[in-house]
Amino acid sequence: MGCLPLDARAEGHRLKRRWIAVALATSLLVLIGAPLIALRVLTPRIHALLLDRTRGVLQTHFASDVQLSDFSVTLAPRVTITIEGLALRHRGRTDIPPLIQVAKVSIYSSLSNLLKRNPEVTLVRVEGLRITMPPRVPGGPPLIHKTDQDLAAKYPVLVDQLVADDADIIVLPGEPGKKPHEYPIHHLRLDQFAFDRPATFQAILTNAVPKGEISTYGHFGPWLADDPAATNATGQYNFSNADLGTLKGLSGILSSRGTFDGPLDYLSVNGETDTPDFSLRTADHPVSLHTDFSAIVDGTNGDTYLKSVTARFLRTTLQVSGEVVDENRKLKSRTIELDASSKEARVEDLIRLTTKSARPVMSGDVQLKTRILIPEGREDLVDRLLLGGRFGIAGIRFANPSTQEKVDTLSRKGQGQPENQDISDVISELTGNFKMARSVLDFSDLSFGVAGAAIRLDGTYNLDTEALDFHGQLKLQAKLSQTTTGVKSFFLKAIDPFFEGKDAGTVVAIKITGTKDSPSFGLDHDHGKQDPHAQPSGKGQ
């Protein structure tokens, strides 16, 4: 065969290289374009599949009609699902706001993770979350629809992390015209969320009354769709800068820390509180108050049952138990009902806490047992406060030297030794029953005793005005003539029989009026000398 010219052979080589380049380019276009074409072809199907699955989860889990303004899916460079204008209307109700409203939900994952047998979502970010809880009729059905479906098996999705900032939980009132309760959640984060396991969580929220910020973390779930209140939660909390001034009648900044564990409607909470500047309106004498407590809290409505509270301030310790519950749905506050007792209390501490006096009028050891009731209402907490109980004070000494001198004089005269100055710095005892309503203490069977003398009184003390109004009897071991000396004693012998008690000595009707700082003591001519506590003798019948 003949040889081709050099020009022809060169042209053949150039054509060969060109075809190779074309083949390579075509192959690259196929390699690059095929997935893009496939994604373009598959995207509508994936979009429809994910939309259908999302609707199914929400409808089944919340028994709600699902409404949304936009649902978009992007498959590259990673799978991004965006839902806007999401609204869940519980059982299709339109007479109240939607159960759940979300401005925007962004879901991030990879296609490989979504195609797993158990799909995995990397991140869910929720913006503008608003949960509106409709009023629940006592004994009515649960707010979340009961389902017999196994959500973990039907929707085995795992969310690595869910984040929601600036969310709101709104609880609608049961009575028309009442303002709803609002619970702002500044930050919420759930990790490893699925229907079949607990999720770890972190949250920061604002407590309304007393107003303050709560940070908490722990484990929550798995969510029980057929009985949400039985969903378990365990973790720790820190409650800081709580302003007790939001409770009318109290003041101080409270902090608390503790742990919780149990179902939402029966959370066991154990913790402590510190209020370095606690005070009541009636006194405005701040004291440092510390409490250790154990309680059961119904997380679905806020009702609290105090199993044990130990409160300490100054040199006083109180033991408290009771409950704080919402009994009257027409009122915003809660009913507080407590039992308090103490065998380690000081009367000067209690006086400092409850009265306006700059210096307690007396000191001594107190034993106390009382029932405390604060009904729900819009009035000042102190004005709503109802008390009833009994107390005993031993080893009393009075701070005012003039008052203590009067007590010493009473003891000298009661013992028939009016000039004996060795009888001094006398200690006394005080016992009695008490009730309190509208800031007025009502005492009965009030007994004040010193060596040689005893006073029994009934009367009232006003915490606001500090006014005293007591009536009763003074009993002395000595006769009236023995309470003085000289000529005065001689003349008093003539009237000793008129003031003689059953067991000799002296009985005199007295009254105490004026104010706490300026009391007025005198004979009570209106009440006479009859012992109001004596039983009828039966004579003359």
Task: With cut-offs at 50, 70 and 90, classify the pLDDT of residue 149.
Answer: low
Average pLDDT score over residue span 74-101: 84
Measured in degrees and rounded to the nearest 5, phi and psi for residue 394 equal -115, 155
Task: Provide the token pair at 384.
Answer: 């709503």
CB 476 within 8 A of CB 505: yes
Centroid of chain to Cα 157:
36
pLDDT digits (tens, 9 = 90+) for 13-71: 565 555 555 455 544 444 444 444 444 545 676 677 777 777 877 777 677 788 889 98
Q: Which of 9-18, 86-95, 243-252, 513-522 has the lowest mean pLDDT?
A: 9-18
Which pLDDT does position 113 carry in this prediction?
Answer: 82
Find residue 90's DSSP bridge partners: 64
**Alpha carbons 168 and 129: distance in angstroms, whole number:** 6
Q: Which residues contact 82 (CB under 8 A, 6 or more apart)?
A: 70, 71, 72, 73, 74, 104, 105, 106, 107
Please give the biggest Cα pair distance in the chain.
173
**Which of 536 and 125 is assigned the larger pLDDT?**
125
pLDDT at residue 430 greater than cutoff 70 = yes
Beta bridge partners of 373: 337, 386
Q: What pLDDT sits at residue 13?
A: 59
What is the pLDDT confidence band of residue 261, given thresholds at 50, 70 and 90?
Answer: very high
Q: pTM of the prediction? A: 0.71
Cβ atoms of residues 144 and 225 within 8 Å: yes
Residue 150 has pLDDT above 60, yes or no: no
CA distances from 339 to 318, 336, 354 (A): 10, 10, 18
User: 3-class DSSP state for residue 152?
Assistant: helix
Q: What angle do CA 479, 524, 392 make, to 5 degrees?
A: 80
pLDDT at 403: 84
DSSP category for residue 529: S
Say if residue 441's pLDDT is above 80.
Answer: yes
Give the Cβ contact number of residue 422 at 10 Å. 6
Say which residue, 172 or 39, is predicted with more confidence. Answer: 172
Residue % of the chain over a pLDDT of 90: 25
The pLDDT of residue 539: 34
Look over the chain and give the mean of its residue pLDDT values, rounded to a whole number.
Answer: 79
Residue 443: the pLDDT is 92
In the predicted model, what is the mean pLDDT of residues 154-172?
82
CA dihedral 80, 83, 84, 89 (to 10 degrees): -170
With H, G, I as helix, E, B as strand and everything else as coil, classify residue 173: coil
| Proportion of the chain in helix, strand, coil states, percent, rounded to 5 | 20, 45, 30
The H or E element spanning position 253 is strand 253-263
For 437-455, what is the HEC assignment?
ECCEEEEEEEEEEECCEEE
Output the pLDDT for position 538.
34
Residue 154 is predicted with a pLDDT of 58
Q: Of 240-244, 330-334, 344-348, 371-375, give the lowest mean pLDDT range.
A: 330-334
Q: How confident is the model at residue 496 (pLDDT cuts 50, 70, 90)?
A: low
Q: Is the pLDDT of residue 422 over 50?
A: yes
Q: What is the mean predicted confidence (pLDDT) over 151-177? A: 75
pLDDT band (50, 70, 90) for residue 104: very high
Q: pLDDT value at position 501?
A: 64
Q: Token pair for residue 376?
A: 């729900």
Residue of higher predicted confidence among 193 and 444: 444
Q: Mean pLDDT, to the nearest integer, of 456-475?
A: 89
For the chain, give the number of residues: 541
Q: State the CB neighbour count (10 A cutoff) for residue 330.
A: 10
Q: Residue range 477-484: average pLDDT?
A: 78
Handedness of CA 22, 24, 25, 26 (dihedral sign): positive
How do the domains of the chain map onto residue ranges?
Answer: 36-137+150-197, 400-523
